[in-house]
Amino acid sequence: MVVASGISVFEYLVGSWQMSQTVVSNLCGAKGKALDLAVREARVQALREAQLLLVSYMGLSLQIPDMFPQQGRSGRAIIVDALLADPNANANSLAEQLPELLSQLAARFANDGLPEVIAPVISELGLRTLQRANRSLLQPGFRSILAALDTLTTNRQIAAAIPHMPTFDPEECNGRRMQTGTALGPFMALSGFPAGDESITKVYYSDAPQRSHQDRESLHTSLRTTVQFLHSALFEIVNRLIRSGADERTLVLQLSLRTLATNALRSGMQVDFTKVVDDGFADNLAFVWMRLSEPFTNDARLTRLARVDPDWVTMRALRSVADGGLNDDQSHISTYWRELTRIDADKEQIDAYLEQRLRDQMSSDGGFIPDCFFTTAVALHLGLVSTIARYIDMMKQIGRFKNEIERVRNSPGTLTPAQRANLPLVMQRWESQLQDMKREKCAMDAQMLDPRRLICAMVFYRFVICFLLRQVDAQGVFPQQAFTMPAENGDVNAAEKWRMLPEFLIEDAIEFVVFVTTYAPDVLTDSTAQVGDDGLRMFDDILPLFIVTFLARPKLIRNPYLKAKLVDILHYLTYRDPREDDDYVDTLGGNIPGNIRLHPSIQQFQANLDNNTLARAYLVPALVRFYVDIEQTGSSSQFYEKFQTRYYIARTLRALWARAPRYVEVTRRFFMQSGLGTSEATTTGSTRRDQRVIEEFVTRLMTDTTYLLDESLSKLAVIRDIEKRQPTAEAPAAEGNDSDDASRLDDAESRARSLVSLANETVHMLAFLSRLVPRPFQASEVVSRLAAMLNYNLQQLAGPKCSSLKVQDMQKYSFNPRVLLSELTSVYVHLGLPTGKQQPAAALIEETEAIDRFVMAVAEDDRSYSQALFDKALYILEQRSLKNAQSLTRLREFALKCQGAKVDSRAMLFLENEAPDHYLDPLLASLMTNPVRLPTSDNVMELSAIKGQLLSDPRDPFNRAPLSVDMLEPLPELKREIAEWRERKLAEYQAQQ
């Protein structure tokens, strides 16, 4: 074969094939009709045989390029050029004839190395994709690239060959290299995210921060349409590969799972993007798998949910293909899934479980559905959900940077002369940096707030949440039947499988809903996202059930952070503007009305809660319980995190109480159930367990009130002190003199804003609950500490130092000391005076004893109590018209009772001075009335004292051994002995008086 100089062998072969194809077309067309039929068919047959020979050589030259002399254009480049060319531009061009050529190549090499034939073409197309003109979605080149790949995969034989190509999933590729080193990597890397295409930020959104909201939305819509085209094209291509056959489906699954496994670092806190695929690649992969999952996730009744086996990890991810699994030869897939954090299991338990399951002979009969479900879930975990975390961080960084710029601009007096001299240049540089950050945010908004993307994810997470609920459903049949709340003791259907599920399944569902609720609430109520029949709609039915279930049964999830996030969702979806609160306890007036227009989803969600039977029964007690449980989160910042969660709990409860009387009644029954003598109101399966929750809740509420008021008032005092010394234009700061003040002021303002809000809600909840259910707050084990706390804070708000709390801008910190004082003093009345309600005689006796106990405790507090303090508080309340006449009268009545009790307390002091040592509590040195023995140390203490101690620390105070109330041993003989001695001594004291 002689080939003209400068022309490659492949060009010669293609040219010959084109000429033969033209002749065949002519013979089969109008020009061939004049020929005898037999002659025409003979000529066509001869040309077909010649074409077959030409195609064979073309395939060999693609498979083994070195077989022929190399000159001119390569075969791979010729085919790719034809794929990228317009087929309608020239008649009889290779671009026009290419589908036939590809068909003949595929037929010839179908069983003779087609993957090796097509691999160079795919690789060349991938290299073209990496060129700047084809890589950007702002240029038309990428569309030609996707059209070329579409043309190739439209041929079923080629589509089936692609997963078998040596370049499809090369062993040496992992991490970031999956983006460029695999056959599909360059196409998956096409991106609408700024990290994947810097021109999106620098060109497309160059002036976006200065544009109107409408103009920015127009830019977003255009870019989102382009990304939608990209997603659809990639889905069609991957879908054809998967539908080619079972072996091809397995190879595509392995490639996806291995890509995700080797890019696990994307979910970390600090991501090095030189080692992992970028946001665009991860987003494209996740979206393709979401589309693949739509046939079963879009099902209104979720009829195929039962086919997803929770044990998929051991059945598929950890087993080799030979054993019916999906693990790759390098075990990247099995290593990743083995090391994932589980919902409720430690490493030792995980290893033991997995080893046992791997020894069992197991097979998955769920088909493609469970594979698709778990692959989609992990793709979203490392794609959309990981990107959401960085998007939120970016928003926070922009906010902090803006605040810093404003602080420096508005307070030049806090700078030194040298800093003020450089301020114009510094501000110019900062403004430029801020504009860059805003442009990047605009580019990210286009993707992260895209309703189409979020709705698709919402539909998938509906399926995920229902899958999780099915695992904990007491009957194990949800959603085919109504959900049944599991028992408190973790009596869950297939409990071990539940505990071994990857934690990211529930974490991602929660994080996604939190994100949508905060940044894109329209998606929550979108009709497309609400797919499902009555009872299975995401926002109306599934989400309330999900939140209530895992708050009411906290033992199902080990990680307290996840339960705290459920509270976040509740807070956002029951939100009330604190400035519009009008439900202050026994207080006239209040805050200034706000102007925040709440999203319609809030009203809709609250209606959904009202209509949910489980929410009505379990939600309030679950929130009270979690208020206690959040004390320990396991994180290094747990001390501060718990207050934020408790604030959200308090605001949520406040919204529920204000919305419907039924929530108030549920709260009353829960707190008073020990007096009801029935388990009807229990939520943990045990009245005793619920009672412990109530006791600990009261203790936490007291402790929080003390800390939050003390800390918030101290921060306000710091602010006032710095404000008094703040430099002015007439008296600027000295060199380095006020830099510390500026730093202290920033810290104090930041802390005061959060602490005051927390204190407001804690005091309100104390006031509301002490009115609704006073008895738990009058219990002997807490009453002394509660009284001391109230007295101390009354001294802070009405004592001599109250004037030092006034700062320049009280509203800035939500600080309203008058409302705080009014609600705090209402607690005294609720606990220290009769309710006036008709009650049985026994209940009246119990109420009287409880009131006397509280009044005595207030009067005995030598540190803070004084009649003058109550007089000052009454004066403030009356002067500021904070309470009506009846409330003021009742408060005066309580103050007089305390004055009388102060006299009676002298008798108690006499008894304590006269008592033998073994009659006195060893810690409080007070006379015991109900002594008990501590079996762990053999010491004797007053029951109320040790119960109060154990509420905050469940250990023996003498030797730190574990101790619970159930272990305490009553001492009836000593109790009777002390009572008889007390009676004799009181008679002796009264005779002396």
pLDDT band at 298 (very low <50, low <70, confident <90, very high): very high
- Report d(CA 668, CA 682) in Å as an integer: 12
Q: Which of 137, 141, 133, 163 is nearest to 283 (CA)?
A: 137
E strands, 380-525, in order: none
- Report d(CA 683, CA 665) in Å as an integer: 15
State the alpha helices, DSSP H only, in 773-884.
Answer: 783-798, 817-832, 841-859, 867-879
Please name the residues in contact with 43: beta carbons below 8 A apart, sequence gap of 6 or more.
Answer: 23, 27, 35
CA angle 899, 901, 903 (to 5 degrees): 80
Q: For residue 53, which phi and psi values (nearest 5 degrees)?
A: -65, -45
Which amino acid appears at position 311 of this protein? D
Q: Residue 354 CA to chain centroid, in angstroms?
A: 28
Which amino acid appears at position 153 of this protein? T
Please name the residues in contact with 702: beta carbons below 8 A apart, sequence gap of 6 or more.
Answer: 766, 782, 785, 786, 789
Q: 686-710, pLDDT tens digit by residue?
A: 777 788 889 889 989 998 998 998 8
- DSSP for 528-556, written as a single string: TTT-SSTT--IIIIIHHHHHHHHHHSGGG
Percent of the chain with pLDDT over 90: 57
Task: Count CB-CB contacts under 10 A for residue 556.
Answer: 23
- Report d(CA 751, CA 707) in Å as an integer: 13
Do the beta carbons of residue 764 and residue 828 sit within 8 Å? no
Task: Determine the average pLDDT of the residues in 148-156.
Answer: 96
Q: Which of 646, 623, 578, 572 is nearest to 602 (CA)?
A: 572
Task: Look at the chain and count its residues.
Answer: 993
pLDDT band at 415 (very low <50, low <70, confident <90, very high): confident
Task: Count CB-CB contacts under 10 A for residue 582.
Answer: 11
- Is the pLDDT score of 239 beyond 80? yes
In a 10 Å sphere around its CB, with 0-12 CB exposed, 13-18 middle and 19+ buried, how is residue 170 labelled?
middle
Give the alpha-carbon dihedral of 898, 903, 904, 909, to 10 degrees. Answer: 120
* Token representation of residue 808: 């320049």
Which pLDDT score is estimated for 915? 87
- Is the pLDDT score of 254 beyond 70? yes
* Token representation of residue 519: 């940044």
CA distances from 71 to 2, 19, 615, 630 (A): 13, 22, 76, 73
Decide: helix, strand or coil at residue 136. Answer: strand
The residue written with tokens 């700078």 in the block is: 415
* Token representation of residue 253: 């699954």
- Is the pLDDT score of 231 beyond 70? yes
Task: Determine the average pLDDT of the residues in 532-550.
Answer: 90
DSSP state of 476: S
Do the beta carbons of residue 828 and residue 894 sit within 8 Å? yes
- Is the pLDDT score of 905 beyond 70? no
pLDDT band at 926 (very low <50, low <70, confident <90, very high): confident
Q: For residue 955, which phi and psi values (nearest 5 degrees)?
A: -140, 155
- Is the pLDDT score of 363 beyond 70? no
Which amino acid appears at position 958 of this protein? F
Task: Determine the average pLDDT of the residues in 749-763.
Answer: 90
Q: 610-647, pLDDT tens digit by residue?
A: 989 999 999 999 999 999 998 876 565 667 788 999 99
DSSP state of 487: P
CA distances from 6 to 2, 68, 179 (A): 12, 14, 35
Which pLDDT score is estimated for 744? 80
- Report d(CA 927, CA 609) in Å as an integer: 50
Which pLDDT score is estimated for 633? 63
- Is the pLDDT score of 681 beyond 50? no
Do the beta carbons of residue 376 and residue 293 sit within 8 Å? yes
CA distances from 422 to 406, 432, 740, 930, 987 (A): 16, 16, 20, 73, 83
Q: 855-866, pLDDT tens digit by residue?
A: 988 988 878 888
Q: For residue 927, which phi and psi values (nearest 5 degrees)?
A: -65, 130
Please name the residues in contact with 393: beta carbons below 8 A apart, sequence gap of 6 or more.
Answer: none
Percent of the chain with pLDDT over 70: 92
Least confident of 24-28, 517-521, 605-609, 849-853: 24-28
Q: 711-730, pLDDT tens digit by residue?
A: 888 888 888 888 777 655 45
- Is the pLDDT score of 345 beyond 80? yes
Do the beta carbons of residue 468 and residue 505 sit within 8 Å? yes
CA distances from 318 to 369, 498, 782, 909 (A): 18, 18, 54, 72
Q: Specify the long-range contacts of residues 53-59, CB closer than 8 Å, at least 24 apart.
A: 54/13, 54/16, 54/17, 54/20, 55/17, 55/101, 55/104, 55/105, 55/108, 56/108, 57/9, 57/13, 58/10, 58/13, 58/14, 58/17, 58/105, 59/105, 59/108, 59/109, 59/113, 59/117
Angle 817-832/783-798 helices, nearest 10 degrees? 150
Does an H or E element contain 942, and which? strand 939-942
pLDDT band at 139 (very low <50, low <70, confident <90, very high): very high
* Token representation of residue 529: 């996202």
Which pLDDT score is estimated for 739? 59
Q: 425-448, pLDDT tens digit by residue?
A: 989 999 999 999 999 999 999 999
Q: Residue 755 CA to chain centroid, in angstroms?
A: 23
Q: 192-203, pLDDT tens digit by residue?
A: 999 889 999 999
Which amino acid appears at position 380 of this protein? L
* Token representation of residue 465: 């949440």
pLDDT band at 362 (very low <50, low <70, confident <90, very high): low
Query: Is 927 or 104 the better-scoring residue by pLDDT?
Result: 104
Task: Determine the average pLDDT of the residues in 822-842.
Answer: 90
Which pLDDT score is estimated for 393? 94
3-state secondary structure 9-78: HHHHHHHHHHHHHHHHHHHHCHHHCCCCHHHHHHHHHHHHHHHHHHHHHHHHHHHCHHHCCCCCCCHHHH
- Is the pLDDT score of 931 beyond 70? yes
Q: 12-66, pLDDT tens digit by residue?
A: 999 999 899 888 888 888 777 777 788 888 888 888 899 899 999 999 999 988 8
Q: Which of 206, 194, 82, 191 is nearest to 135 (CA)?
A: 191
- Is the pLDDT score of 458 beyond 70? yes
